């Protein structure tokens, strides 16, 4: 269930306040204080909404309002507070006596926002809109250092792979050649030849050199059959 309206708006005045209405509102508040804004219009003899009376008093009629333009010092205070508080205008107004939240909000949107944009500052984040040359130089230096580290790592990996390949070549097992032959024994016995018996199975073991079948320090083994 919503909140009921503060007054009968069908029987209230709208639009700009007249000088007579301002005088009635000021006289009543000076005599009785602000009190309840819902009942104040009727008690003061005003055909106005309670909210309208409250805003008129706070923003235009109260005696402690500070008139005149904002100073450079006021601008700096508003910018610093806005960077911390954001669009909390009532809290910002609390740090500037005599200024209303509505007044500060309007001044921000019409003046300070444009001032920050002209300086290249984002009025929302209060950060530079474009990176400065110093930031660009630092970014390039960081990128160059990163690329240099990556190149060093790649070079170290290549060197490690090359040394591993050289080591594998150095300890590579040489190619072996096995030559097998079947022949008659060197010392033939006449009886065996006559009978067609006997034989010799021999083999040689050695290291193969090049494309020809050369042997380095071959060892020959024979078996007589």
Give pLDDT tens digits for 9-63: 556 888 899 999 999 999 999 999 888 999 999 999 999 999 999 999 988 898 8
- Does the structure show a pLDDT above 80 at 201? no
What pLDDT sits at residue 111? 94
Domains 9-61 and 72-118 share a fold: yes
- Does the structure show a pLDDT above 90 at 137? no
| CA 77/CA 98 separation, integer angstroms | 14
- What average pLDDT does the chain have? 75
Say how many Å lie between the first and final Cα of the chain, rounded: 119
Structure tokens at 46: 């005003």
What pLDDT sits at residue 163? 64
Q: What is the DSSP letter of 183?
A: E
Binned at pLDDT 50, 70 and 90, residue 130 comes out as confident
Is 37 in contact with 53 (CB distance < 8 Å)? yes
Q: Domain 9-61 has what CATH class? A: mainly alpha
Count how many Cα atoms sit within 13 Å of the Cα of residue 33 in the half-sphere of its side chain. 2
| CA 154/CA 148 separation, integer angstroms | 10
| CA 84/CA 31 separation, integer angstroms | 40
Long-range Cβ contact pairs of 213-218 (< 8 A, separation 24 or more): 213/177, 213/179, 215/177, 215/179
What pLDDT sits at residue 68? 86
What pLDDT sits at residue 104? 94
Residue 116 has a CB neighbour count (10 Å cut-off) of: 19
Q: What is the DSSP letter of 121?
A: B
In this structure, of 22-31, 101-110, 152-161, the range with the lowest mean pLDDT score is 152-161
Q: Please give the model's pTM, rounded to 2 decimal places.
A: 0.49
Binned at pLDDT 50, 70 and 90, residue 211 comes out as very low
Classify residue 196 as left (phi > 0), alpha (psi -120 to 50) or beta.
left
What pLDDT sits at residue 23? 94
Give the Cα-Cα-Cα angle 200, 204, 210 (nearest 5 degrees).
Answer: 145
- Does the structure show a pLDDT above 80 at 124? yes
* Superfamily holding 72-118: Homeodomain-like (1.10.10.60)
In the chain, what is the greatest distance between 2 CA atoms, to the nearest angstrom?
A: 158
Binned at pLDDT 50, 70 and 90, residue 225 comes out as very low
Binned at pLDDT 50, 70 and 90, residue 183 comes out as low
Residues ≥6 apart with Cβ < 8 Å to 75: 111, 112, 115
Domain spans, the chain: 9-61, 72-118, 176-185+197-224
Binned at pLDDT 50, 70 and 90, residue 216 comes out as very low
Is 128 in contact with 122 (CB distance < 8 Å)? yes
Binned at pLDDT 50, 70 and 90, residue 175 comes out as low
Structure tokens at 208: 């193969």
């Amino acid at each position: 269930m919503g909140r009921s309206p503060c007054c009968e708006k069908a029987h209230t005045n709208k639009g700009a306040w007249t000088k007579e209405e301002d005088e009635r509102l000021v006289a009543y508040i000076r005599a009785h204080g602000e009190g309840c804004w819902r009942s104040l219009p009727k008690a003061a003899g005003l055909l106005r909404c309670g909210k309208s009376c409250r805003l008129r008093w706070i923003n235009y009629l109260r005696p402690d309002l500070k008139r005149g333009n904002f100073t450079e010092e006021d601008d700096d205070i508003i910018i610093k507070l806005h960077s911390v508080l954001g669009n909390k205008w009532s809290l910002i107004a609390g740090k500037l006596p005599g200024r209303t939240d509505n007044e500060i909000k309007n001044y921000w949107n019409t003046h300070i926002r444009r001032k920050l944009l002209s300086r290249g500052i984002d009025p929302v984040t209060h950060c530079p809109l474009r990176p400065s040359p110093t930031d660009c130089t630092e970014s390039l230096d960081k990128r160059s250092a990163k690329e240099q580290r990556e190149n060093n790592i790649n070079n170290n990996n290549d060197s490690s792979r090359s040394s591993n390949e050289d080591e594998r070549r150095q300890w590579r097992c040489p190619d072996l050649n096995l030559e097998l032959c079947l022949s008659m024994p060197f010392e033939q016995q006449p009886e065996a030849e006559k009978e067609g018996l006997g034989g010799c199975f021999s083999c040689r073991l050695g290291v193969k050199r090049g494309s020809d079948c050369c042997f380095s320090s071959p060892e020959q083994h024979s078996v007589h059959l």
